[in-house]
């Protein structure tokens, strides 16, 4: 079983390191990309040699170490120079971070603290992404006060990073940090105890948490499509060529109140890829689901559920040859259009529509 990995990010000065420290104190193995990025350009290494070859000896201090102030002045004033530096440093950081992750104990919760997690397109590599957020004004004030950074430099770094909206779109959990540190610590403790610890235990045992009984219909949540998009991005990354298409289906895909379980359907190129796909999803926090309706068992082949107690999901893998997947999409689209008003407002409505569709010759 894969260890549970968490992506932690936030704009400069938002409080990412403060959260990482707290998670570390609670027992997480924290891998800090800023620290690793410093290590890979130490004096005498090939990282520094490459930086010097690209930027000249003006970025090396009298002590032979990288002059970070000089390099910072260059790269935060010029996006092309920054991209050049990132091309040298980021692959080395990733390689070392992966090595550190592999050396973590089997029951570890590994937190990757990565300032540029969203910018570098890594969000889908983690089963859960935590974003620490604070207003730009608060962040600039903190950097001036605690880091003695001139306001212009703070803003230049903020401008070099993703917008708050882009970061929030990648977030499964948002920790607001505009108030006192105590309040932030409290949210981190709650997240750790109520979500991350049981998530890890479930993943390690290959089980999903017990579901509330009965599952109740909740009001329409406008973030369901974004939540589904994040899960689909993870599935695509984990399954690669084993995904012909992946869609948000089921009650939460219809645009009405529904039972709060996210349904995703993945179409695979073959029966074998559907079967094999199940085992490849532990790294994105999904576990095999042994249960499921026997009627479609032969054609669905792969079912997954969440190990995360904070987000209930059903994923089914269907081979392309099966007619099931197209029926599922047709049913969803029919309910979205709701020609007769039959898909009334609930999972019950969905089940009724499904039964209605079956009577009319569909074959789910
Ligand atoms: C330019 C450098 C030498 C400046 O060093 P300095 O000691 O002043 O800053 P430090 O490395 O401690 O970074 C502090 C913060 O700046 C921001 N930041 C750093 N690099 C970048 C970048 N390429 N783009 C946007 N923001 C950045 C982050 O919020 C980071 O937490 C250094 O930041 C660097 O080497 N950056 C390139 C590598 C990188 O992208 N690091 C980010 C994590 S992998
Ligand atoms: N709620 C808070 N109230 C007051 N100060 C805070 C709060 N949270 C963090 N700080 C302080 O603000 C500064 C920035 O916080 P922190 O280092 O955690 O941010 P960061 O997001 O990790 O920044 P960077 O991207 O530079 O690593 C630190 O000096 C920290 O002690």
**What DSSP line would sit under 172-188, residue for residue?**
SEEEE-SS-HHHHHHHH
18 appears as a binding residue in the annotation: yes
- The band of 43, judged by pLDDT with boundaries at 50, 70 and 90, is very high
Q: Kindly tell me if the per-residue pLDDT of 44 is higher than 70.
A: yes
12: CB partners within 8 A, 6+ apart: 115, 139, 143, 154, 157, 158, 161
Task: Please answer whether residues 353 and 335 qualify as being in contact, where contact means their C-beta atoms are separated by less than 8 angstroms.
Answer: yes
Q: What angle do CA 70, 71, 75 make, to 5 degrees?
A: 125
Distance 213 CA to ligand 2 centre (A): 42
Mean pLDDT, rounded, of the chain: 91
Q: What is the pTM of this model?
A: 0.93
Pocket of ligand 1 (CB under 6 A): 12, 33-34, 37, 68, 71-72, 75, 82, 85-86, 89, 93, 115-116, 157, 160-161
179 labeled binding residue? no
Annotated ligand binding at 54? The verdict is no
Q: Domain of 272?
A: 217-359
> Does the structure show a pLDDT above 60 at 78?
yes
Residues 284 and 238 both lie in one domain: yes
Q: Could you tell me the pLDDT band of residue 364, with boundaries at 50, 70 and 90?
A: very low
For position 335, which CATH number holds? 3.30.460.10
Q: Are residues 191 and 236 in the same domain?
A: no
The domain boundary residue, chosen from 204, 233, 259: 204
Residue 364 in domain: no
- Distance (angstroms) between ligand 1 centre and the Cα of 236 equals 29
Pocket test for ligand 2, best of 142, 184, 187 (most atoms within 8 A of CB): 142
pLDDT bin (cut points 50, 70, 90) of residue 350 is low
Q: Domain ends where: 150, 179, 204?
A: 204
pLDDT tens figures, 112-161: 999 999 999 999 999 999 999 999 999 999 999 999 999 999 999 999 99
Asked if the model's pLDDT at residue 263 lies above 60, the reply is yes
How many domains does the structure of the chain reveal? 2
Tell me whether residue 181 is in a domain: yes
| Ligand 1 center from residue 20 Cα (angstroms) | 17
Q: Consult the annotation and say whether 17 binds a ligand.
A: yes
* pLDDT exceeds 50 at position 292: no
Contact indicator for 271, 301 with CB cutoff of 8 Å: yes
Please state the ipTM of this predicted complex. 0.96
N residues, the chain: 364
- Counting residues of the chain whose pLDDT is more than 70, the rounded percentage is 90
Q: Are residues 180 and 144 in the same domain?
A: yes
Q: Which residue matches tokens 């903190």?
A: 142
């Amino acid at each position: 079983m894969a260890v549970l990995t968490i992506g932690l990010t936030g704009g400069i000065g938002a409080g990412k390191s403060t959260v990482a420290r707290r998670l570390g104190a609670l027992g997480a193995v924290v891998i800090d990309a800023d620290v690793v990025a410093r290590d890979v350009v130490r004096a005498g290494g090939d990282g520094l040699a490459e930086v010097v070859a690209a930027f000249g000896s003006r970025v090396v201090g009298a002590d032979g170490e990288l002059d970070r102030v000089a390099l910072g002045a260059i790269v935060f004033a010029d996006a092309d120079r920054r991209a050049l530096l990132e091309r040298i440093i980021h692959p080395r950081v990733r390689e070392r971070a992966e090595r550190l992750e592999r050396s973590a104990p089997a029951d570890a919760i590994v937190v990757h603290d990565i300032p540029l997690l969203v910018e570098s397109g890594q969000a889908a590599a983690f089963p859960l992404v935590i974003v620490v957020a604070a207003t730009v004004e608060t962040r600039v004030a903190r950097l001036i006060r605690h880091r003695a950074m001139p306001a212009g430099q703070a803003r230049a770094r903020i401008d070099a990073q993703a917008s708050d909206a882009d970061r929030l779109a990648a977030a499964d959990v948002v920790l607001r940090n505009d108030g006192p540190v105590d309040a932030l610590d409290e949210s981190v403790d709650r997240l750790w105890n109520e979500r991350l610890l049981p998530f890890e235990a479930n993943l390690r045992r290959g089980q999903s948490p017990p579901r509330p009984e009965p599952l109740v219909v909740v009001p329409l949540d406008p973030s369901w499509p974004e939540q589904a998009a994040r899960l689909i991005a993870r599935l695509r990354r984990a399954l690669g060529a084993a995904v012909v298409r992946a869609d948000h289906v089921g009650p939460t895909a219809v645009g009405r109140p529904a039972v709060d379980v996210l349904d995703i359907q993945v179409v695979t190129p073959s029966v074998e890829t559907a079967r094999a796909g199940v085992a490849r999803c532990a790294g994105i926090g999904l576990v095999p689901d042994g249960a499921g309706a026997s009627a479609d068992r032969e054609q669905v082949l792969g079912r997954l559920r969440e190990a995360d107690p904070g987000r209930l999901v059903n994923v089914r893998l269907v081979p392309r040859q099966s007619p099931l997947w197209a029926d599922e999409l047709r049913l969803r689209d029919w309910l979205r259009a709701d020609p007769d008003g039959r898909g009334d407002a609930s999972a019950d409505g969905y089940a009724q529509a499904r039964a209605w569709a079956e009577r009319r010759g569909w074959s789910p």
